[in-house]
Chains A and B, each alone.
Chain A
Amino acid sequence: MTDATERTVTSRWLNRDRVSVLLIGLGCVALLLGGSLLYPGFLKPGYILQQLQIAAFLGIIATGAMLVILLGEIDLSVPWTITGTAIVVISASGSSNPLVASLAIPLGLCLGIAVGLLNAIGVAVFRVPAMVWTLAVNAMLLGAAVFYTGNSRPNGEVPWLATQAATGRTFGIPNAFLVWLVVAAITVWVLKRTVYGNYLYALGNSRRAVFLAGARVRLVMVATFVLAGVFSSFGAILLLGYTNQAYQGMGDPYLMPVISAVVIGGTSIQGGRGNYIGTFAGAIFITLLSSILSVMQMPPAAREMIFGAIILVMLLVHGLTNKKEGV
């Protein structure tokens, strides 16, 4: 009997969420230590703060992706939502009309809302598989962006607020990271303490049960896709402040890292399981990994391979622990 009790206690303490956060934490430490062997500068606070600043962009975008994945769907329209937002913001901010210029950032967020609604219409109303529908939406956004900018780099101004939020520092801590912390705190609260958060997890587990329980399934789905669009746009505005320019394809390198950050953070790609701390740690891990690989001057090809291999290993560890738990 003691044995059985003990086992449940250990399995409760070492549950899936904790294992993934622990794993990623160890991974981050290993990366930093390994990096510091190559370059002593890696353990300096300056470097770490800079990495946290860059991780914030990824992390905020990953927040939206995580909500959609918790729902059991996926959003592949992230890349051109990012690019589209950056183009809208930079062009509006450079407009000669002062009203439009002052509304640049809200306009960018509106684009995110619009994309989210479009995604939601296909997935929640027409019941098209999210993987295909969001892909088509991504293609349309790409087309619209190409048509609008005419293959040249969009001109305009980056709003002062975006630059401040992305590159400024408060008491030595990057503003972007502080913004991310606020987003994280709100997300954790929403997921754990609100009706919406509970429905989200429930929908990821059994849509049918939630529907039979009388919840407004469509409303929750639409809200989730809209939130995802807003987070993508929000991240894009920060990214715009950081890069100080908008260009076609600026969102393309974000799709895979965003999904990777969410899934290595322990969120099940089938939905219904996962916590935000994992995604938070996942975004930092992915950022550190790509930073170290680029400092080591790996050719992009090798970088891609190592990236893929590490993600696969982490997923295998997850998969095998799940099998043991009998999930």
Chain B
Amino acid sequence: MMTWLRQNARETIAALALAILFAGYIAIHPRGFSTYVVTIWSNQGTLLGLAAIAQFFVVLVKGIDLSVGSIIALTNVMGSFLLNGSPTSIALGMAVVLTVGVACGLVNGIAVVYGGVQPIVTTLATGGIFGGIALLLRPTPGGSIDETMSDALTYAVAGIPVSAVILVIVLVILLVLLRRTAVGLGLYAIGSSEQSAYMTGLRVNRLKLVAYGSSGFVAALAGTYVSMVTLTGDPNIAPSYTLNSIAAVVLGGVALSGGVGSPLGAVIGALILKTISSLMFFSGVPPLAQPFFEGLILATAIALGALGVFQVRSRLELYR
């Protein structure tokens, strides 16, 4: 048990912070602990959680993805055209949406792997392209989503929000794949040391493409779930998802230098962010001052997470 805790210290600390914040949120919320409150919280958290997982895959292989939000916006907009009508057409639409997500991820991956462009600038540029397509398809928010499906996926069954179930299923699948398959471990290897991974005989280029493709896939899941929660396609949601997904992975103990962290951590980070902003909403802080405190709390949280720098034995360790 202690070893496990030590190995997963980053996630554990983040989870503790989340528990405290969540307790505070429930205590402060006028309606207290009820299925309704938890469902809303969980739905919002799932949206950002999926975005954070998408970001996690790219960060794992030492990249950073500034197009996550745009892919979410694009798939959300496509969902608002396709996720309606007969069950067959919805299923087909879902397949198209997810394929588009994977394709967007692969475009990023190909530019990074074969084009030799840095991930941050690649995704900056492709983010503009994906976001542009979303805006062309739907200049203003609109469209419609099948309501039965939306209800089934956003309400609660027996007091447990469906969104939480979805998130847990996605997490379990990903954790197993990342920890128990050669591909998953290969991704961690590349993030830790690309050269060693290459020397070991891993197919670095292909594995990187897998990471970018998976990121696109999960971003498409997030986009679809945005459609389910909001019932519209909105091309303007991109920036907030991109920025929050980066903050979420950092809060969840995923190292931006690659190779460290887990999707669980990313999700915990996302839930922390979501809880902070909900907490603000009910805290009695004047609404105009809320953005400032949100930023302040975010900065403090990140700085606290970085306190480890004061424990290093030699300052040389700080410079890599």
Q: Give the interface of A toward B (CB within 8 A).
A: 74, 122, 125-129, 131-133, 135-144, 146-147, 150-151, 207-208, 210-212, 217, 256, 259-260, 263, 268-270, 299-309, 311-312, 315-316, 318-320, 322-323
Is B116 in contact with A323, judged by CB distance below 8 angstroms? yes
Q: Is the CB of B319 within 8 A of A147?
A: no
Q: Of the listed stretches B147-155, B207-215, B287-295, name the one at the interface; the rest are far from the partner chain.
A: B287-295
Binding site for A on B (CB under 8 A): 64, 111, 115-118, 120-122, 124-129, 131-136, 139, 235, 243, 246-247, 250, 256, 288-296, 298-299, 302-303, 305-307, 309, 315-316, 318-320
A270 to B132, CA, bound (A): 27
Docked Cα-Cα span, A323 to B117, in Å, equals 10
In the assembled complex, how far is the CB of residue B191 from the closest CB belonging to chain A, in whole angstroms? 15
Cα distance, A74 to B302, chains bound together (Å): 17
Is B306 in contact with A139, judged by CB distance below 8 angstroms?
no
Q: Which residues of B contact A132 (CB under 8 A)?
A: 246-247, 250, 256, 302
A306–B296 CA distance with the chains assembled, in angstroms? 36
Q: Which residues of A contact B120 (CB under 8 A)?
A: 74, 131, 269
**B303–A140 CB distance below 8 A:** no
Residues of A with C-beta under 8 A to B288? 146-147, 150-151
Q: A142-B295, A312-B125 in contact; A301/B136 too (CB < 8 A)?
A: yes
Bound-state Cα–Cα, A260 to B124, Å = 9
Whether the Cβ atoms of A122 and B125 lie closer than 8 Å is: no
Given contacts A143-B293, A208-B316, A128 and B306 within 8 Å (CB-CB): yes
Contact of A263 among B111, B121, B305 (CB under 8 A): B121
Structural contact, B302 and A305, CB atoms closer than 8 A: no
Tell me the nearest residue of chain B to A268, going by C-beta: B118
With contacts A208-B320, A315-B122 taken as known, whether A301 is within 8 angstroms of B128 at the C-beta atoms is: no
Query: Which 9 residue pairs are nearest across A and B when measured between Cβ atoms?
Result: A143-B292, A308-B128, A305-B132, A139-B295, A301-B135, A319-B116, A143-B291, A140-B295, A304-B132
Output the nearest chain B residue to A80 by Cβ-Cβ distance. Answer: B295
A-B pairs under 8 A by CB, number: 160
Q: How far is the CB of B137 from chain A (nearest CB, A)?
A: 9
- Judge whether A311 and B316 touch: CB under 8 Å: no
Closest to A203 in B: B319
Across the interface, which residues of A come within 8 angstroms of B243, CB to CB?
135
Counting chain B CB atoms within 10 Å of each CB, the highest count among A207, A304, A311 belongs to A304
- Contact indicator B124/A302 (Cβ below 8 Å): no
Contact B121 A133 (CB under 8 A): no
24 pairs of residues in contact across A and B, judged by CB atoms under 8 Å: A132-B247, A132-B302, A133-B303, A135-B247, A136-B302, A138-B295, A142-B292, A144-B292, A146-B288, A208-B320, A259-B121, A259-B124, A268-B118, A301-B139, A302-B136, A308-B126, A311-B128, A312-B129, A315-B125, A316-B111, A318-B117, A319-B111, A319-B117, A322-B116
User: Across the interface, do A143 and B295 meet the contact criterion of CB distance under 8 Å?
Assistant: yes
B289 engages A143 (CB within 8 Å): yes
A128 touches B135 (CB 8 A): no
Residue pair B117, A133 in contact (C-beta under 8 Å): no
Q: Are A140 and B296 in contact (CB under 8 A)?
A: yes
Asked whether, in the complex, the Cβ of B136 is within 8 Å of the Cβ of A305, the reply is yes
Q: Output the residue of B132, B298, B309 with the most chain A CB within 10 A.
A: B132
